Amino acid sequence: MNALARHRYHRAAPVVLVLLLLAIIAGVAAAVSTASSADAATTATADDVTQGQKLFAANCASCHGLDAQGTTGVAPSLVGVGAAAVDFQVGTGRMPMQASGPQAIAKRPQFTQDQINQLAAYVASLGAGPAIPTAEQVDPALGDPAKGMELFRTNCAMCHGSIGGGGALTQGKYAPNLWETTPTHIFEAMLTGPQSMPVFNNANIDPEGKRDIIAYLKAQDQGSPGGLRLGSIGPVAEGMWGWLVALGLIIASTVWIGARSS
Amino acid sequence: MSTTENPTSHESADNAPESFQDPGLPYHRPRRADVDPKADKKAERQVAALFGLSILGTIIAIVSYMTLKMDGQIESIRFTNMAIGFGIFLAMIGIGLGAIHWAKTLMRDHEMVEERHELRSSDEAREGAIQNLKDGAEDSGIGGVKRRPLLVGSLVTAMLAAPLALLWPQIGNMGANWNTGEFAHTMWRKGMRLTRDPEGTPIKASDVTIGSAFHVIPEGLNDLEHGKLEEKAKAVVLLLRLDPRDLNLQPGREDWSFDGIIAFSKICTHVGCPVALYEQQTHHLLCPCHQSTFDVANGAKVVFGPAKRPLPQLPIAVDDEGYIVAQSDFHEPIGPSYWSRLKHTSDGLSSDETDGSSH
Amino acid sequence: MGARLDSAAAGTANYVDERTSIGGFFKFFARKLFPDHWSFMLGEIALYSFIVLLLSGVFLTAFFVPSMTEVTYDGPLATMQGVEMSEAFASTLHMSFEVPGGLLMRQIHHWSALLFTAAIVTHMARVFFTGAFRKPRELNWLVGFTLMILSLAAGFSGYSLPDDVLSGNGLRIIEGVTRSIPIVGEYISYWIFGGQFPGEILIPRLFTMHILLVPGLILVLVALHLFLVFLHKHTQYPGGGRTHKNVVGLPLFPVYTAKAGGFFFVVFGIVALVAALFTINPVWNYGPYDPSPVSAGTQPDWYILFVDGALRLMPGWLFDVIPMEWELWGYTLSLNLLIPALIMPGLFFGFVALYPWIESWATGDRGEKHVLDRPRNAPVRTGIGVALITFYVILVMEGSNDIIANLFHLSLNDLTKFFRIGIFVIPALAFWITRRICFGLQRKDRELVLHGKETGRIVRHEHGEYVEVHEPLTDQERWMLVSYEDIAPLEIEPEYNDRGVRRKGYRWDRFKQRLSRIYFEKRISPVTPEELAEAQHAHH
């Protein structure tokens, strides 16, 4: 949510709004046709594509190649990954990748949202792929959190934890915490299956289902009725707190009880 | 290192150069409240204040209960929870700290000494006990001169047998039908569609794009009147699509998958957790419970962790309408190993020869 | 007023006493002495959290419905609207979200369950490290050990009651482990679950076990445990005037009535505070049980975590070539389940349960022991204790390896590989280091007795030498450091007597002697008065 708030007052805000409006129109079209992908290039001007190509050549081409065909063993081809993949990878700061590790990590984005949109427009122009979702598609208020709970725990909770707190994968990889992730990025991640994550295309979890999942995750913003969450990572954290805080406080009091009064 | 005698034994301690003398109880140092009436008064006020705090806590808890309304919103529940909890905390801790402070500062703290006695009963008592038992045994014929072995023997037998009258029906009824062969079969049949978990909608082969992971239940599972969870516990499947070039089909299973689409039982062969963490880049499936890792590209064989066997594969095909269907039930019992698993496996295979549709 | 109250009290007392002769009881108990030390209150934490469990548990039974019948949720929780769930889960949500104070009681109950088990373990560690299990308390150690096992049963059965995804997967693991038992496993599983997993009868069965059977047994054994504590009189730490034949302390009434009674309220208060502030077991996050989903961080409560860790640690293929699941004559032996989940806990708990006898074989001492050991004065026992704890902690850490991996950006595979070797190496290392530390502390004690305390004051002697002034210990301080038993390894009679006949029971004696040598071959004896005199002579 904070990330959203930051973007709202960004100097690029008008551009983003216009683009979003255009995206809504495209989104409606996409919803009517059951096709899982819409060409984001339809919402972007030729100028965007040109700008995006420049940005790409300067920032991405060293790994992905000048024509975005990828480099074997270094970076995948980006032809057909769609605008959604670019918006997710660059918008969450995972790309450009700075250091090689088990997986690309989210960090502060290096580009403004309109630059990201230009990049996305360029990549989308290379081959049809999933588009950036519309504001309506990702609006948690329109989703059903209970339906989202069922979908989330069947498809997502095994990696991201029961309410999206995150979890470990093999060999140092991990499924990130989702509490600070924007609804758009959540949607895009499902659609494109970044890195280790499987793809949940619109035939697997339909766009309404994805929005339900977003609604479920955003329902977690209210916090836990029981008080502090202790990370929502389950009984290990509870056990630690039981020993360190509850037993710790009580043993401290036994020391006081056992000590002689002055 | 020299061996010394037990220094705490007193018998030889007097004037014995080889062990130190117990100096006796340390000098009792008086507390401030013992010598200073002002400190005494102050401590008394502190104790009373702590008890007062407890009363305040009780009031907070009751008032919170009566005034705070839970409207179903998380916020209101959390606040009620905290307010009542904080009240109980004060109500309890006030009494506790007050009583302990009272004991520590105002009650006499001269240590006293009590002698211990050996726990062993006196010889006299022991002899008496033995005599009594002997007399009893003699009187009853359990022991002594006039034994009645027939009575003892038949009583012991009857006593050992009697609990069976209770336990036999008890244990017998608790295991339902005792047909453990049920482990070996799931509800998958030839031609049954694979459907999405939890909605139960069928899946077209074209829906499953490369890198996808579908969580699957058998068609019609949601309509079961009875045993829905039991069947689901055995029948859940993970449906994945890999680039066919990455997929090494196992010998004898060349036609069990369709153009890179492959289905495995979701129940871990280690101890039965759902194996659900699919990493699409490495094609590894990880069980979150004990981290057995299976390589989907190579027949789901174990690459790490405590499982020994690969995940059972569900043979699939595509029907005329393009939907993914099962070719048969699994060819082996799903889930963790157990004693007669191989026996059930051969049962499973024989029923499979009749297409698995004879059930 | 006061006089009237007094006479009323006397009247009541007379009435009761004439019917119960309770006067003798009060005469005996009221001024019974208890030694004062903070570590003697650890067992009380367990007792008091058990009472808190009973009190909060009664509240919960008023709302919990132990049934696996499917219902559709229609309460206030948005994320559960219209979801199918068992009545057990629905009633748990109802008491959490609609009953004021209900969630608090659930959290008090669950936090005190964690505290109960944690306090039992801490109390056992205190008893172990101070040697309080020695004669005549071996049987009470066994009673306490049984209580520990029962606390695990109580905890696990309660953890499973809400019928959520997390505990349901735990039950599924129990089912898998049960099935792995050779020959009878499948039938035991059918017996527990009333047929196939999950069945429809388990929650009611667990409920009865959780609220009647296990707490009933705990109550009986707690009574026996406390009765034996009264019978044996409490142990005491070494110090002036404290011997194996007396007990030095303050009277039950009023001092311990106030201290121990007050302590109950402190424990209750702290549990209430923790329950007010910290969420525990948020079942509304996990959702109702369904065999398909599972979430990251699927772990049991901490007291079962070591078994889960062992299950994770055990490789399915030893060195990638030797299968740990054997198929013999058409039957399957799942060593990858049996070893970590049944054999390992069996050996671990068996060793802990039998430890008092193991040590008494090594000492060969038949006397009653009422003065406790300072841990340093029993280096091998202390080493064994630390090794056991290390072993346990490694398993707990392996059971949390995904959480640790995620927190510190490590690979859980690397952690598992490390612990697979560590489980053998680290406890042995811990034993060795601990024993050395104990010897070091004992040597330091000897130094203190022989040369006194350093004062930090430097004086110059007439002939120009600078020396630090050492202040001799007081009698009380010295007694604390020298009053421990110096036990020599067991001497046994020879194997053959004069006539060359082999003695019966020689092998057993030899076993005990070997054990004894492990314990006492290397030891540091306390300072004798003679040594002290020599040391003082050398100084002056």
For A133, other C-beta atoms within 10 Å of its C-beta total 30
**pLDDT band at residue B5 under the 50/70/90 scheme:** very low
Nearest-Cα residue of chain A relative to residue B43 = A261
DSSP string, C121-137: HHHHHHHHHHTTTSTT-
Q: Which of C41, C107, C166 sits opposite A254 (nearest CB)?
A: C41
Long-range contacts of A238-242 (CB under 8 A, 24+ apart): A238/C110, A238/C114, A238/C280, A238/C281, A238/C301, A238/C302, A239/C114, A239/C301, A239/C302, A239/C303, A239/C305, A240/C302, A241/C274, A241/C278, A242/C111, A242/C114, A242/C115, A242/C118, A242/C302
Q: Which of A154, A224, A255 sits opposite C279 (nearest CB)?
A: A224
Q: Are C270 and A225 a contacting pair at CB < 8 A?
A: no
Q: How far apart are CA C529 and CA A138, in angstroms?
A: 85
Q: How far apart are CA C104 and CA A163, in angstroms?
A: 21
Q: Which of B23, B88, B289 sits opposite C298 (nearest CB)?
A: B289
Structural domains of chain C sorted by starting position, each given as residue range(s) with its CATH number in brackets = 32-304 (1.20.810.10)
For C101, other C-beta atoms within 10 Å of its C-beta total 22
pLDDT on residue C498: 81
Three-class secondary structure of residue C3 per DSSP: helix
Q: Is B181 on the interface with C (CB under 8 A)?
A: no
In angstroms, the separation between the Cα of residue C47 and the nearest Cα of chain A is 13
Residues of A engaging B, defined by a Cβ cutoff of 8 Å: 36, 150-151, 154-155, 158-159, 167, 169-170, 173, 175, 193, 195-201, 203-204, 222-227, 256-257, 260-262
Q: Which residues of C touch B306 (CB under 8 A)?
A: 311-316, 324, 336, 340
H-run or E-run covering C350:
helix C344-363
Q: How far apart are CA B39 and CA A262, in angstroms?
A: 11
Q: Is C103 on the interface with B (CB under 8 A)?
A: yes
Percentage of chain A surpassing pLDDT 70?
A: 83
Q: Which residues of A touch B215 (CB under 8 A)?
A: 154-155
Choosing among C72, C265, C534, which should be mutated to test the B contact, i.e. which has the most B CBs within 10 A?
Answer: C265
Tokens of C441: 């502390």
In a domain, A233, yes or no: no
Pick the CATH number of B186-353 from 3.40.50.170, 3.40.50.620, 1.20.58.220, 2.102.10.10: 2.102.10.10
Residues composing chain B: 359
Q: Are B280 and A150 a contacting pair at CB < 8 A?
A: no
Strand partners, B212: A199
* Count of structural domains, chain A: 1
Q: Is A162 on the interface with C (CB under 8 A)?
A: yes
How far, in Å, are A157, B34, B161, C64 from residue B31 at the CA level? 60, 5, 67, 52
**pLDDT band at residue B326 under the 50/70/90 scheme:** very high
Burial class (CB in 10 A: 0-12, 13-18, 19+), B164: exposed
Q: Which residues of C touch A107 (CB under 8 A)?
A: none
pLDDT on residue A19: 59
List all residues 6 or more positions away from C337 whose beta carbon is below 8 Å from its beta carbon. Answer: B270, B271, B336, B337, C176, C177, C180, C311
Give the pLDDT confidence of C440-454 residue by residue, as tens digits.
999 999 999 998 888
Choosing among C112, C116, C270, C278, which should be mutated to test the A contact, i.e. which has the most A CBs within 10 A?
Answer: C278
> Quick check: B265 and B279 in contact, CB under 8 A?
no
Q: What strands, in cross-sheet order, belong to the sheet with B112-115?
A: B112-115, C246-251, C33-34
Q: Is A244 on the interface with C (CB under 8 A)?
A: no
Q: Are C411 and A158 a contacting pair at CB < 8 A?
A: no
Q: Are A158 and B31 a contacting pair at CB < 8 A?
A: no
Q: Are C114 and A236 a contacting pair at CB < 8 A?
A: no
Q: Are A168 and C412 a contacting pair at CB < 8 A?
A: yes
Burial class (CB in 10 A: 0-12, 13-18, 19+), C3: exposed
Q: Is A259 on the interface with C (CB under 8 A)?
A: yes
Size of interface A-B (CB pairs under 8 A): 96
List all residues 6 or more positions away from A7 whose beta carbon is below 8 Å from its beta carbon. Answer: A13, A16, A113
Q: Which of B22, B119, B339 sits opposite C183 (nearest CB)?
A: B339
Query: In this structure, what are the phi and psi dihedrals at residue B282, rounded to the nearest 5 degrees?
Result: -95, -10
Domain limits, CATH 2.102.10.10, in chain B:
186-353
List all residues 6 or more positions away from C518 whose beta carbon is below 8 Å from its beta carbon. Answer: C362, C380
A40 pLDDT above the threshold of 80: no
Choosing among A81, A144, A196, which should be mutated to test the B contact, i.e. which has the most B CBs within 10 A?
Answer: A196
Query: In this structure, what are the phi and psi dihedrals at residue A188, rounded to the nearest 5 degrees?
Result: -65, -35
Q: How far apart are CA A128 and CA B182, in angstroms?
A: 49
Give the pLDDT confidence of C16-61 residue by residue, as tens digits.
999 999 998 888 888 889 999 999 999 999 999 999 999 999 999 9
Q: Which of B73, B81, B277 sits opposite A169 (nearest CB)?
A: B277
Q: What is the pTM of this model?
A: 0.90
Q: Which of C37, C114, C119 sits opposite A238 (nearest CB)?
A: C114
Give the pLDDT confidence of B200-257 residue by residue, as tens digits.
999 999 999 999 999 999 999 999 988 899 999 999 999 999 999 999 999 999 999 9
Tokens of C491: 């001497």
B62 pLDDT above the threshold of 50: yes
pLDDT on residue C269: 97
Q: Are C308 and B103 a contacting pair at CB < 8 A?
A: no
Tokens of A66: 């000048």
Query: In this structure, what are the phi and psi dihedrals at residue C247, rounded to the nearest 5 degrees?
Result: -130, 130
**pLDDT band at residue A24 under the 50/70/90 scheme:** low
Long-range contacts of B295-302 (CB under 8 A, 24+ apart): B296/B240, B296/B242, B296/B262, B296/B264, B297/B242, B297/B246, B297/B247, B297/B248, B298/B248, B298/B250, B299/B248, B299/B250, B299/B253, B300/B264, B302/B269, B302/C316, B302/C317
pLDDT on residue A103: 85
B189 pLDDT above the threshold of 60: yes
**pLDDT band at residue A233 under the 50/70/90 scheme:** confident
How far apart are the two ends of chain A, measured CA to CA in Å? 55
Nearest-Cα residue of chain B relative to residue A257 = B100
Q: Is B295 on the interface with A (CB under 8 A)?
A: no
ipTM over 0.85: yes
Percentage of chain B surpassing pLDDT 70?
A: 91
Nearest-Cα residue of chain A relative to residue C256 = A257
**pLDDT band at residue C244 under the 50/70/90 scheme:** very high
For C433, other C-beta atoms within 10 Å of its C-beta total 14
> Quick check: C78 and A146 in contact, CB under 8 A?
yes
Q: Which domain holds residue A147?
A: 2-222
Q: Are A200 and B213 a contacting pair at CB < 8 A?
A: yes
Q: How far apart are CA C71 and CA C90, in angstroms?
A: 8
Q: Is B159 on the interface with C (CB under 8 A)?
A: no
Three-class secondary structure of residue B113 per DSSP: strand
Picking from C423, C420, C353, the residue whose alpha carbon sits closest to that of residue C391 is C423
Q: Are B198 and A195 a contacting pair at CB < 8 A?
A: no
For B317, other C-beta atoms within 10 Å of its C-beta total 18
Choosing among B88, B238, B293, which should be mutated to test the C contact, i.e. which has the most C CBs within 10 A?
Answer: B88
Q: Which of A162, A225, A251 sits opposite C295 (nearest CB)?
A: A162
pLDDT on residue B6: 42
**pLDDT band at residue C64 under the 50/70/90 scheme:** very high
DSSP string, C25-92: HHHHHTT-EE---GGGGHHHHHHHHHHHHHHHHHHHHTT------EEE--SS-GGGTT-EEEHHHHHH
> Quick check: C264 and C48 in contact, CB under 8 A?
yes
pLDDT on residue B57: 97
What is the rounded average pLDDT of the residues C269-288? Answer: 95
Q: Is A141 on the interface with C (CB under 8 A)?
A: no
Percentage of chain B surpassing pLDDT 90?
A: 70
pLDDT on residue A25: 56
Q: Are C187 and B80 a contacting pair at CB < 8 A?
A: no
In angstroms, the separation between the Cα of residue C522 and the nearest Cα of chain B is 9
pLDDT on residue A30: 47
